[in-house]
């Protein structure tokens, strides 16, 4: 059983996506046979959330997969016809399927959110949200496997896959960024044919504004605003204008220890300069004390 809620998708500027992208590693999937990324198990049996951003131009591929080790329960997220398709089953009941309407093979970034709630699973892609429910006797999904992204490792036997056809799905081609379970990035256990492509964010999606210098430091994007008139994480905020701290000796002249201008000089008959007669402020010079 499925139900759909269609919201008008709001245009999202590059900084909206980059606020997601810069907080975690971006992985580049080349789409070659035999590629895969294996993450630590997502405990999606009862309730939980998984989110990520993806960018691709292919019409058919495996995005992610998990199961109970070849018995009854599984969840697979595919790209089919350029749109996301979710299928999941609990306790050998008839699998529930969601077909999204949002095209994701347009070589643009799309935000994806999976929400588990016992027999129900909600899928959100940008502004589109749909929910499906399985009619199973047991409400919890059993999860035994790791979380596979972009492909299935060759060492996973066909008999250990609840959805045996998943191993023959085309591997994902494109970028996946900011993969999170709840608010925490899952542990990447190992991978094959996958590259970390954080430099892509600087070269193609540079978030540094107003001439800020973009670099990757500790797997995060960093904007150096030193040589700009701006500040902030993305060199977006204008710096306040301050008066120049240097004194203009040509206009003000030198000052004494008390901060007052020194006496003007006059030319003597022998060509030397002498100070014009002025009373000496001995108190300011620290010679006389109070009486």
Tell me the pTM: 0.64
Burial class (CB in 10 A: 0-12, 13-18, 19+), 36: buried
One domain, residues 170 and 212: no
| One domain, residues 173 and 132 | yes
Tell whether 20 and 94 lie within a shared domain: yes
| Burial tier of 42 (Cβ tally within 10 Å: 0-12, 13-18, 19+) | buried
Domain count of the chain?
A: 2
Contact indicator for 176, 58 with CB cutoff of 8 Å: no
Residue 214 lies in a domain: yes
> Which CATH number characterizes residue 218's domain?
2.10.25.10
Residue 289 included in any domain: no
Q: Pick the closest to residue 142 from 217, 75, 212, 73 (CA basis).
A: 73
Domain span holding position 229: 207-242
What CATH number does the domain containing 36 carry? 2.60.120.200
Q: What are residue 35's phi and psi, to 5 degrees?
A: -85, 150
User: Rounded to whole angstroms, how far apart are CA atoms 110 and 225?
Assistant: 29
Residues 235 and 131 grouped into a single domain:
no
For the chain (291 residues), the mean pLDDT of every run of 10, in chain order, is 41 43 68 95 97 96 98 98 98 98 96 98 97 97 98 95 96 94 93 78 82 79 92 91 47 51 45 44 44 43
Q: Output the CA torsion sign for 68, 70, 73, 78.
A: positive
CA 141-118-7 angle, to 5 degrees, is 120
Domain-embedded: residue 275 = no
* pLDDT of res. 254: 53
Same domain, 136 and 229: no
Q: What is the pLDDT of residue 6?
A: 36
Q: Are residues 29 and 151 in the same domain?
A: yes
Is residue 139 situated within a structural domain? yes
Which string of b and e fits 229-255 if b means at least 16 CB within 10 Å? ebbebbbbeeeeeeeeeeeeeeeeeee
């Amino acid at each position: 059983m499925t139900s759909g809620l269609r919201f008008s998708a709001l245009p999202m500027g590059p900084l909206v996506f980059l606020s997601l992208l810069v907080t975690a590693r971006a992985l580049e999937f080349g789409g070659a046979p035999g590629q895969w990324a294996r993450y630590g198990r997502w405990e999606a049996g009862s309730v939980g959330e998984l989110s990520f951003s993806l960018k691709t131009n292919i019409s058919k591929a495996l995005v992610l997969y998990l199961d109970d080790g070849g018995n009854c329960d599984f969840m697979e997220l595919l790209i089919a016809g350029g749109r996301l398709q979710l299928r999941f089953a609990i306790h050998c009941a008839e699998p529930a399927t969601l077909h999204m309407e949002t095209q994701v093979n347009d070589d643009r970034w799309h935000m994806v959110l999976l929400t588990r709630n016992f027999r129900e699973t909600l899928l959100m892609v940008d502004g589109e949200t749909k929910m499906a429910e399985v009619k199973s006797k047991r409400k919890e999904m059993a999860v035994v496997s790791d979380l596979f992204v972009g492909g299935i490792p060759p060492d996973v036997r066909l008999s250990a896959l609840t959805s045996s056809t998943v191993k023959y799905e085309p591997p994902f081609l494109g970028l996946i960024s900011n993969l999170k379970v709840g608010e925490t990035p899952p542990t990447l256990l190992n991978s094959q044919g996958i590259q970390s492509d954080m430099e892509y964010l600087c070269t193609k999606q540079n978030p540094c504004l107003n001439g800020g210098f973009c670099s990757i430091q500790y797997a995060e994007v960093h904007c150096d605003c030193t040589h700009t008139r701006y500040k902030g994480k993305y060199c977006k905020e204008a710096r306040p204008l301050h008066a120049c701290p240097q004194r203009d000796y040509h206009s003000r002249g030198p000052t004494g220890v008390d901060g007052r201008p020194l006496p003007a000089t006059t030319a003597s008959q022998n060509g030397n300069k002498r100070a014009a007669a002025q009373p000496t402020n001995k108190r300011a010079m620290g010679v006389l004390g109070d009486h």
